[in-house]
A and B are shown apart, each in its own frame.
Chain A
Amino acid sequence: MDFQLPHVDFRVMAPELFLFAWALVVITFDLGTKRRSGSATGYVALLGLVITGVILSITPEGAGFGAMFYNDAGSLFFKVIFLGAAFMAIGSSFGIMERKIQHHRGEFLGLILLSTVGMMFLASSNELLSLYIGLELTTIPLFVCAAFFKDNRLSVEAGIKYLIVGAMSSALLLYGISFLYGLSGTTDLLQMRVNIATTHLTFREIGLLPMLSVVLLVAGLGFKLALPPFHQWAPDVYEGAPTPVAAFLSVGSKAAGLVAFAKIMINGLQVFYEDIMAPNDWGLLVGILAGAAMVWGNVAAVRQTNIKRMLAFSSIAQAGYIMIGMLALNDIGLSSVSFYMFTYLFANMGAFAIVAIFEDKTGSTQIKSYSGLARTSPFYAASMSVFMLSLAGIPPLAGFFAKYYVFAAAIKMAGSNEIHQWLYWLVGVGLITSVFALYYYANVIKTMYFTPDESPYKLPLSLPGSAVVLIGLVGVILFGLMPGPVMDFASAIPAAFGLIAP
């Protein structure tokens, strides 16, 4: 019997291998200093992320382990987002590490890093088995992180809710995958596209079974992305989980869900999208979910009094906008999605960092406690306003260009063929709900700036929390003024998924 390994190239896998080793280093470091290391453990974790970023910048594209690990432009771009999200989440968790989880700092940081490894692994896999394992490695550490305040009822509830929803979405996803495997006889996504195309053409009259697997896959991934009607867990989990974990969930975990979606639905099932006559088109299905996300996310966000719940509904709405770009299967759709996610990283992580600092100082997450903050803490109030305006999509901030590119991609797609004209409606919904969204984002600014009394709280400037806010601020403004360089990087992504100009 011969044991022939696929082509193995460790240089391609170097960032993941290093970050995995570093996660163990962080845990050991915390134990080695008898848990008296103070904030040093946090800095060790941040250092590891920076080194991983440096390694990532020299990582070549190509196959690392056959189809199980393949770096293309999209993998590398999204790995930057994952590392950024982990960096900013850990940077904003120094407050809770000092006061609330001082006995388990190492484990907390180690689990966040392991989850990041899972996301990076996921972004490189072109095969359903490794993709699923990457997705599980992403979420399982986060179940624990969500429940990390063990004596806090809301946090434990968040952990259990996230665990149950995560298990159920995985079950749906796996069931869908099992049908795909039965139909195509392979787990390799590119091979699957070929096999399903042939099966599909031969057995066109019974196209309902592929549709069943598409529905299951969209439901499973919809839970991960928190698209309505699979979104109910998000506000409760974000509210109960430690704020940096909620931030990491809203950016890192969402980006991982997007990658999984793009890999399965575009790499594996692109034929279904193009074949509009068949009943198994996934475009319309996802389009309806995206529309529901934009409408319901924004409407529900208006009623929230807790800023973490508001940001949760805002992130549901943002997922809707992102999916518009995902539905534009042309040469700019996926690059607009990537750019959107990149700007969302800075705006959302920045906003959550301020929420974390505020909660650490005051213990409150109510929007009304922010009243008058502009007089006592002008830096934080100004930064928060910038993040809110970017999330709302106000020029010249990065969030404006993100929305602009996504809408432009969808309009181009809609114009390319008559059968895609329904995308105009989706863009219309996006534009109208964007205006609506301005109301609750501006409400936070109004509370901070336009209330007569001065806030009783003064938020201190501290490292590295303030640095995270500053990174977010610089990112949102810089990439708003000069989106070009990032778009240049992102422009190679659609081609990596086999998408070209029609």
Chain B
Amino acid sequence: MDASVGPVFWILAAVTILSGIAVVSLKNIFHCALFLILCLFSVAGIYILLHAEFLAAAQVLIYVGAVAILMIFAIMLTSGLASRTIKQVNKHALTALFACVLFVFVVIGLIFKSNVWNWARVPLPEDNVMTIGKLLMTKYMLPFEVVSVLLLAALIGAITLAREEEA
């Protein structure tokens, strides 16, 4: 990572974390959804810094463009949901916070202490979007197809659960 990337990364990281905290702590579910979009956007920015352009595009198109927008539609079309105040924490919040902070420090500590990332230092291919596309159509075609089966199962399940029962 060169020097000019540094400040950009820290800004994106701060936005990601702060908006992430907002998502799980705000009392209005509509505001939560808006902050989720911000959070997902800044993660896409971090992907770009890491030269994972395809992942960034997919993140914006799928998570921001489809998932988050759908969530907002669902919130706005469900009567009374957008104006309701919700409580996002229960009595275990402090314990959970403690566990999470501990986990984060352990993970960060271990990552910074190690220098075994030699496999990750292989240079990226020139055109990595094209390489990903090619791999999805060749080496990874089978899992790619199975994902569509997974989507089908999720669709059937969601419709079954959400459908109103006929008498």
Q: A: which residues have CB within 8 A of B?
A: 1, 3-6, 20, 27, 65-66, 68-69, 103-104, 107-108, 110-111, 114-115, 117-118, 121, 129-130, 133-134, 136-137, 140-141, 143-144, 147-148, 150-151, 159, 182-186, 195, 199, 203, 206, 208-209, 212
Residues of chain A with a CB closer than 8 A to B115's CB: 203, 206
Query: Are B149 and A117 within 8 A (Cβ)?
Result: yes
Query: Are A130 and B107 within 8 A (Cβ)?
Result: no
Instruction: Choose the segment among B29-37, B52-60, B66-74, B159-167 that binds chain A (4+ C-beta atoms closer than 8 Å).
Output: B159-167
CA distance A243 to B142 in the complex (A): 33
CA distance A137 to B143 in the complex (A): 11
Residues of chain B with a CB closer than 8 A to A184's CB: 119
List the 6 closest pairs (A to B, CB-CB), nearest first: A185-B119, A144-B157, A209-B114, A130-B143, A65-B142, A114-B153
CA distance A103 to B165 in the complex (A): 8
Does B150 make an interface contact (CB < 8 A)?
A: yes
Residues of chain A with a CB closer than 8 A to B51's CB: none
Query: Are B110 and A130 within 8 A (Cβ)?
Result: no
| CB-CB under 8 A for A140 and B110, given A5-B141, A134-B146 | no
Residues of chain B with a CB closer than 8 A to A6's CB: 138-139
Query: Are A150 and B161 within 8 A (Cβ)?
Result: yes
Expressed in whole angstroms, the minimum distance between the Cβ of A341 and any Cβ of chain B is 24
Of B111, B118, B146, B160, the contact of A137 (CB 8 Å cutoff): B146
Residues of chain A with a CB closer than 8 A to B50's CB: none
Residues of chain A with a CB closer than 8 A to B91's CB: none
Residues in B113-167 with C-beta less than 8 Å from chain A = 113-120, 122, 130, 134, 137-143, 146-147, 149-150, 152-154, 156-161, 165-166
Residues of chain A with a CB closer than 8 A to B146's CB: 121, 130, 133-134, 137
Q: Can you give 24 contacting A-B residue pairs, CB < 8 Å? A: A3-B138, A27-B156, A65-B141, A66-B139, A68-B139, A68-B140, A69-B142, A107-B157, A107-B160, A108-B160, A111-B156, A111-B157, A118-B150, A121-B146, A130-B146, A133-B150, A140-B154, A141-B153, A144-B157, A144-B158, A144-B161, A184-B119, A209-B111, A209-B114
Closest to A129 in B: B143
Closest to B152 in A: A114
Residues of chain B with a CB closer than 8 A to A104's CB: 160
Expressed in whole angstroms, the minimum distance between the Cβ of B21 and any Cβ of chain A is 18
Residues of chain A with a CB closer than 8 A to B147's CB: 133
Residues of chain A with a CB closer than 8 A to B113's CB: 206, 208-209
Q: B: which residues have CB within 8 A of A?
A: 106-107, 110-111, 113-120, 122, 130, 134, 137-143, 146-147, 149-150, 152-154, 156-161, 165-166
CA distance A140 to B149 in the complex (A): 11
Query: Are A130 and B142 within 8 A (Cβ)?
Result: yes
CA distance A144 to B150 in the complex (A): 13
CA distance A111 to B160 in the complex (A): 10
Expressed in whole angstroms, the minimum distance between the Cβ of B24 and any Cβ of chain A is 14
Query: Are A3 and B137 within 8 A (Cβ)?
Result: yes
Residues of chain B with a CB closer than 8 A to A143's CB: 157
| CB-CB under 8 A for A4 and B138, given A111-B157, A144-B157 | yes
Residues of chain B with a CB closer than 8 A to A206's CB: 113-116
CA distance A151 to B147 in the complex (A): 30
Query: Are A208 and B114 within 8 A (Cβ)?
Result: yes
Query: Are B149 and A20 within 8 A (Cβ)?
Result: yes
CA distance A212 to B156 in the complex (A): 37
Residues of chain A with a CB closer than 8 A to B139's CB: 6, 66, 68
Closest to A143 in B: B157
CA distance A212 to B107 in the complex (A): 8
Closest to A175 in B: B107
CA distance A141 to B140 in the complex (A): 23
Residues of chain A with a CB closer than 8 A to B107's CB: 212
Query: Are A209 and B116 within 8 A (Cβ)?
Result: yes
Expressed in whole angstroms, the minimum distance between the Cβ of A5 and any Cβ of chain B is 5
Query: Are B149 and A137 within 8 A (Cβ)?
Result: yes
Expressed in whole angstroms, the minimum distance between the Cβ of B88 and any Cβ of chain A is 14
Expressed in whole angstroms, the minimum distance between the Cβ of A339 and any Cβ of chain B is 29
Expressed in whole angstroms, the minimum distance between the Cβ of B125 and any Cβ of chain A is 12
| CB-CB under 8 A for A3 and B143, given A107-B156, A147-B161, A182-B119 | no
Residues of chain B with a CB closer than 8 A to A20's CB: 149
CA distance A399 to B27 in the complex (A): 53
Residues of chain B with a CB closer than 8 A to A140's CB: 150, 153-154, 157
Expressed in whole angstroms, the minimum distance between the Cβ of B137 and any Cβ of chain A is 6
Known: A184-B119, A203-B116; 8 extra A-B contacts, CB below 8 A, are A103-B165, A103-B166, A107-B157, A114-B152, A130-B146, A182-B117, A203-B114, A209-B116
Query: Are A68 and B143 within 8 A (Cβ)?
Result: yes
Residues of chain A with a CB closer than 8 A to B154's CB: 140
